[in-house]
Chains A and B, each alone.
Chain A
Amino acid sequence: MRFLAKAARKSPWIYRINAGSCNGCDVELATTACIPRYDIERLGCQYCGSPKHADIILITGPVTVGVKDKLLRVYAQVPEPKVTVAVGICPISGGVFRESYSIAGPLDQFVPVDVNVPGCPPRPQAIIEGLALAIEIWGERAEAAA
């Protein structure tokens, strides 16, 4: 079964959740860092339409009060093993929305965060580096689970 785990390392599928982001991070993430130009498919990545297919979850935004329950519900639908990446300063500390009455975050109160990619918004290169770190962690988890 070792080789199965080795293969899993090469197939991290990604899913992104917008937890109340201002959309700045989403633009950097979805339309700059993860488009064909930077070719993350090289690493075996593939965008998923469904959280149930995903291995790595990229979360943007400060986790607003309204989105918190939905975020947790979607998060629970990602099958184990999984890796979480917080993209942007918002999910890490609340960023510019910090201490706002409508914010429930930061993210790590609710879900275990494995990689933080700070920035407002982070550069595409930073996001891809965060993704590369996440893939390392994903590989270890997949091997541990096998």
Chain B
Amino acid sequence: MTEIVLRILSAVLIFPGGVFAIALGLLLKGVERRLVARLQRRIGPPLLQPFYDLAKLMQKETFVPDLADAGLFLLTPMIGVASMSVAMALLPMAGVYTPSAALGDLIILFYLISLPALALMLSGSASGSPFGALGFSREMAMMLAYEGPILLVIVSVALYVGQATGGGVTFDLVTIVRYQINHGPLLLEWRLAPALLAYLAFIPANLGMPPFDIPEAETELAEGPLLEYSGSSLGLLKLGAAIKAVVVTALGITLFWPNGPAGVAGVLVFIAKHMLVVGGLALLKAGVGRMRIDQAVLFYLKWPMLLGGVALVAVRA
């Protein structure tokens, strides 16, 4: 019993959650900023800039606005970091890490991934600022728009693997990974291609990256829910966002392309796949402006939803 608890704790706090996820998330953020700078023909910040930013924020004064609900206001940034560390511990890394069955499956993971957005909404409304409230309503609209398609994607993959392994639907992540190691990645399965596209469209929305950085739009909403945060609680929010980027990409990798060698090489391959996604995100960030909230919501309800539906029907047929 204690052995399992210790294993889970180390998975959540050190590898692949906690320390590893934080370091990787901040590093990827640095790579992304650097890439965007290069795409704009400038030098850009040092690779370790997000680490410096975080260290700086930890030393600054932390304000709680008069109008805010202080407890909730200071608690929500922690929810983001905590839920993402647990989510990371749920995701298997082929040949490197297999999560303990006690932790949970895809459905739990899906809930955990929605938690930071919910926490951000709470932050926005707890801060007592009108910008925060606007950010809250936009975040909510975005969430309603992208949760549907992502659920379709998850169910398509679960159904596909479930059918192939003989029993209905499987939400067990380890089974999904094992199936792909034996039969090749689902990336190459044409019936799941629409699901892959829908997932790729989901990544920037969930991470609040352009063109879907609408809830935190710093130009018109002054960063929305983040507006009232300062010092270490802002640092925690940034940290949560960095780990979330790792988790969301890692879920994509688990669903579509978990294959890799064992040991340290496996970790490197895992990081390399992350770099691919970060490259795409940097291109988007340097290349497009922000959408309006109605455009973004319509976009999600139209295309990724359609793609997810098509994938589900194709897998079922």
Binding site for B on A (CB under 8 A): 3-5, 7-8, 10-11, 13, 36-37, 39, 41-42, 44, 46-50, 52-53, 55, 77, 79-81, 142, 145-146
Distance of A82 Cα from B283 Cα, bound (Å): 34
Distance in angstroms from B124 CB to nearest chain A CB is 13
Distance in angstroms from B228 CB to nearest chain A CB is 6
CB neighbours (8 Å) of A7 from chain B are 51-52, 55-56
Distance in angstroms from B240 CB to nearest chain A CB is 16
* A52-B227 contact, Cβ under 8 Å, with A8-B56, A77-B63: yes
Chain B interface size, as a band, is 20 to 34
Q: Is B219 an interface residue (CB 8 A)?
A: yes
Set A8, A44, A47: member contacting B45, Cβ < 8 A: A44
CB neighbours (8 Å) of A13 from chain B are 53, 56
Set B55, B223, B231: member contacting A11, Cβ < 8 A: B55
Distance in angstroms from A3 CB to nearest chain B CB is 8
Binding site for A on B (CB under 8 A): 33, 37, 40-46, 49, 51-53, 55-56, 58-63, 218-219, 221-223, 226-231, 234
CB neighbours (8 Å) of B55 from chain A are 3-4, 7-8, 11
Cβ–Cβ contact A11 & B53, under 8 A: yes
Cβ–Cβ contact B226 & A8, under 8 A: no
Distance in angstroms from B287 CB to nearest chain A CB is 14
CB neighbours (8 Å) of B52 from chain A are 7-8, 10-11, 44
* A39-B44 contact, Cβ under 8 Å, with A8-B55, A49-B222, A50-B227: yes
Cβ–Cβ contact A41 & B231, under 8 A: no
Q: Which residue of B lies closest to A143 (CB)?
A: B59
Q: Give the residue among B33, B43, B55, B228 with the most A Cβ atoms within 10 A.
A: B55
CB neighbours (8 Å) of B56 from chain A are 7-8, 10-11, 13, 55, 142
Distance of A79 Cα from B42 Cα, bound (Å): 30
Q: When A and B form their complex, which 9 residue pairs have the shortest distance between CB atoms, in order from nearest?
A: A79-B61, A7-B55, A49-B218, A39-B42, A52-B230, A49-B222, A8-B56, A11-B56, A11-B52
Q: A36-B41, A39-B43, A44-B53 known; 10 other A-B pairs, CB under 8 Å?
A: A11-B53, A41-B45, A42-B43, A42-B44, A44-B52, A52-B228, A52-B234, A79-B63, A80-B60, A145-B59
Distance of A5 Cα from B60 Cα, bound (Å): 11
Q: Which residue of B lies closest to A5 (CB)?
A: B59
Distance of A48 Cα from B63 Cα, bound (Å): 16
* A50-B222 contact, Cβ under 8 Å, with A4-B58, A11-B55: yes
Distance in angstroms from B234 CB to nearest chain A CB is 6
Distance in angstroms from B201 CB to nearest chain A CB is 26
Distance of A127 Cα from B194 Cα, bound (Å): 50
* A53-B234 contact, Cβ under 8 Å, with A39-B42, A44-B52: yes
Q: Give the residue among B37, B49, B51 with the most A Cβ atoms within 10 A.
A: B49
Distance of A77 Cα from B231 Cα, bound (Å): 12
* A53-B230 contact, Cβ under 8 Å, with A36-B40, A36-B42, A39-B44: yes
Distance of A42 Cα from B40 Cα, bound (Å): 13
CB neighbours (8 Å) of B41 from chain A are 36
Q: Which residue of B lies closest to A37 (CB)?
A: B42
CB neighbours (8 Å) of A81 from chain B are 60
Distance of A142 Cα from B53 Cα, bound (Å): 13
Q: Which residue of A lies closest to B45 (CB)?
A: A41
Cβ–Cβ contact B59 & A42, under 8 A: no
Distance of A8 Cα from B62 Cα, bound (Å): 16
Distance of A121 Cα from B249 Cα, bound (Å): 46
CB neighbours (8 Å) of A36 from chain B are 37, 40-42
Distance in angstroms from A14 CB to nearest chain B CB is 13
* A10-B46 contact, Cβ under 8 Å, with A77-B63, A79-B63: yes
